[in-house]
């Protein structure tokens, strides 16, 4: 028999609940503990994802610099 997962707020790690709910501070959905950075871990696990993220960041930074001139 496994213990029920603890749910935390992605923005407020001090908010912990025994079940799915919303954060009383920011009204975000609580996520199961341990999945807070799941997307980031997934993206960083593949070199192609990292290359795409860097390319997108460079394009956005270049566009922002062009708009500032």
Q: Are residues 1 and 26 in the same domain?
A: yes
67: tokens are 């708009």
Q: Are residues 42 and 32 in the same domain?
A: no
Q: Decide: 8 and 21 in contact? Cβ < 8 Å.
A: no
- Residue 57: per-residue pLDDT: 95
Residue 2, pLDDT > 70, answer: no
- Residue 11: per-residue pLDDT: 83
Provide the pLDDT confidence category of residue 12 given band limits of 50, 70 and 90. Answer: confident
- Residue 45: per-residue pLDDT: 78
Q: Are residues 1 and 30 in the same domain?
A: yes
Q: Domain count of the chain?
A: 2
Domain that holds residue 29: 1-36
Closest residue by Cα to residue 30 from 39, 21, 40, 38: 21
Say what the pTM is: 0.50
Instruction: Give the integer Cα–Cα distance in Å for 47 and 45.
Output: 7
Q: Are residues 55 and 45 in the same domain?
A: yes
Q: Are residues 58 and 45 in the same domain?
A: yes
- H-helix segments, the chain: 38-44, 47-68
Instruction: Give the integer Cα–Cα distance in Å for 69 and 65.
Output: 7
pLDDT, one tens digit per residue, over 14-69 is 999 998 889 999 998 888 887 767 667 777 778 898 899 899 999 999 999 999 97
């Amino acid at each position: 028999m496994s213990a029920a997962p603890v749910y935390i707020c992605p923005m407020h790690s001090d908010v912990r609940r025994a079940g799915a709910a919303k954060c009383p501070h920011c009204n975000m959905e609580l996520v199961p503990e341990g999945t807070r950075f799941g997307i980031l871990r997934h993206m960083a696990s593949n070199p192609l994802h990292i290359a795409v993220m860097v390319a997108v960041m460079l394009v956005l930074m270049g566009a922002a610099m062009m708009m500032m001139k």
